[in-house]
Structure 1
Amino acid sequence: MTKHPYLRYSMALGACLGAPAFAAGLGVGIEIPRLQVAEYHRPYVAVWVERPDATVATTLAVWYDVKLKNAEGTKWLKDMRQWWRRTGRELSMPVDGVTGPTRPAGRHQLQFTEGAHPLAQLPAGNYKLMVEAAREVGGRELVSIPFAWPAAKAERLAAKGSAELGEVTLELKP
């Protein structure tokens, strides 16, 4: 029994097309620690990219209480002071593809692709990933990770919070 000469090429092509594509971009990991406190509220979290002059290049994510009636959850966004002062107060909430509900304790992953919103207009340069968390009847914390964009090589960078945030990771993909 002879095989068709194109069969092996078809199978190879099918395997390539079925494999996941690894697009250039960045991944952000955020750990929200489990706190043993009398009154616990999920933190509001803002994630953004900042230029060297401390201006905001793009907001990646904002987690807040979207379920409160009359958009009452937006009232507490200002507790994330750095993000609020730099860009938050200029935004009209909710922002499609950026805002979402608060997250429970645990590890959370965000993925962003080069050329797609919100990285579409990010020019080459040096930046800082900024993650800020604020919690009702709790504290506020800001973690930053410097990085260069676009990524020249695959790289994993990390920083650790001390109270409201656990480990924050930044995975750069060329």
Structure 2
Amino acid sequence: MDSKYKLTLGGALLGAFTTAAVPATAQTMDVSVTIPRLTVAEYHKPYVALWIEQAGKPARTINVWYDTGKKNNAGIKWLRDMRQWWRTVGRTTPTPPNGVTGATRAPGAAKISFTAGKGGMPALTAGSYTLVVEAAREGGGREVVKVPFTVSAAGTAKGSGKGSFELGAVSLTVRR
């Protein structure tokens, strides 16, 4: 076997995305999600879920932001308010989602990097994918932004989208 390549074997969900040899250089996805500053009487930070979809494969949660500081982990009961995420992958995800969670974020741009094979990030082989970002806010609304992207044979991609009210700009870069 050429030392430049390694065969990645993972769990059932990771295996669904990883079907071929992957270059030894770690694949990284950099995501930027903007939470707009809203002028409302009582503002609550939104719960946000990010997941990856590929036609014919199971969806994969890569990050969930919720109120992790509530006593007895009571914040998990509101995860189902992110309805698209909940119906797609959330209800089958262990609660609290292990290895992919974080606290809610204040308004502004949040930049997150994911490395393939760590946390919820699968290795992305060449093909078409969709990054889906959903936000739900207490006393506010819900919004879903879908960012289609195509991973090249070199393992790279770019994509962007924009929300209207609960989410602002969403962008991603996949690189080796």
Asked if TM exceeds 0.5, the reply is yes
Contiguous gaps of at least 5 residues in structure 2? 1-24
CA distance in structure 2 between the partners assigned to 1:117 and 1:35 by the alignment: 31
TM-score, scaled relative to structure 2: 0.77
Tell me which amino acid in the other structure corresponds to 1:119.
M
CA distance in structure 1 between the partners assigned to 2:153 and 2:136 by the alignment: 30
Corresponding residue to 1:84 among 83, 86, 89: 86
Contiguous gaps of at least 5 residues in structure 1? 1-21
Residues 68 and 171 of structure 1, relative CA distance in 2, 3 Å threshold? same
Structure 2 residue matching 1:76: 3-state secondary structure: helix
Could you tell me which residue of structure 2 aligns to residue 48 of structure 1? 51
Could you tell me which residue of structure 1 aligns to residue 172 of structure 2? 170
Tell me which amino acid in the other structure corresponds to 1:103.
R
CA distance in structure 1 between the partners assigned to 2:152 and 2:118 by the alignment: 13
Report sequence identity in percent.
50
What's the offset of the Cα at 1:33?
0.5
Task: Say whether the 8 Å CA contact 2:160–2:172 is kept in structure 1.
Answer: yes
- Counterparts of 1:30-69 in structure 2, within 5 Å, are 30-53=33-56, 55-56=58-59, 58-69=60-71
Could you tell me which residue of structure 1 aligns to residue 3 of structure 2? none
TM-score, scaled relative to structure 1: 0.78
**Offset from partner CA, 1:88-139 (integer Å, 9 cap, x none):** 1112222332011101011111112234443345444321000000000000
Could you tell me which residue of structure 1 aligns to residue 95 of structure 2? 93
Out of 83-92 and 27-36, give the one that drifted further: 83-92
Could you list the structure 1 runs, at least 4 aligned residues long, displaced by more than 6 angstroms after superposition: none
Residues 77 and 163 of structure 1, relative CA distance in 2, 3 Å threshold? same
Structure 1 residue matching 2:78: 3-state secondary structure: helix
Q: Superposition RMSD on alpha carbons, in Å?
A: 2.1
Structure 1 residue matching 2:102: 3-state secondary structure: strand
- Structure with greater Cα Rg: 1
What's the offset of the Cα at 1:52?
2.2
Could you tell me which residue of structure 2 aligns to residue 3 of structure 1? none
CA distance in structure 2 between the partners assigned to 1:77 and 1:111 by the alignment: 22
Structure 2 residue matching 1:142: 3-state secondary structure: strand
CA distance in structure 1 between the partners assigned to 2:126 and 2:67 by the alignment: 34
Aligned pair count reads 152
CA distance in structure 1 between the partners assigned to 2:128 and 2:37 by the alignment: 33
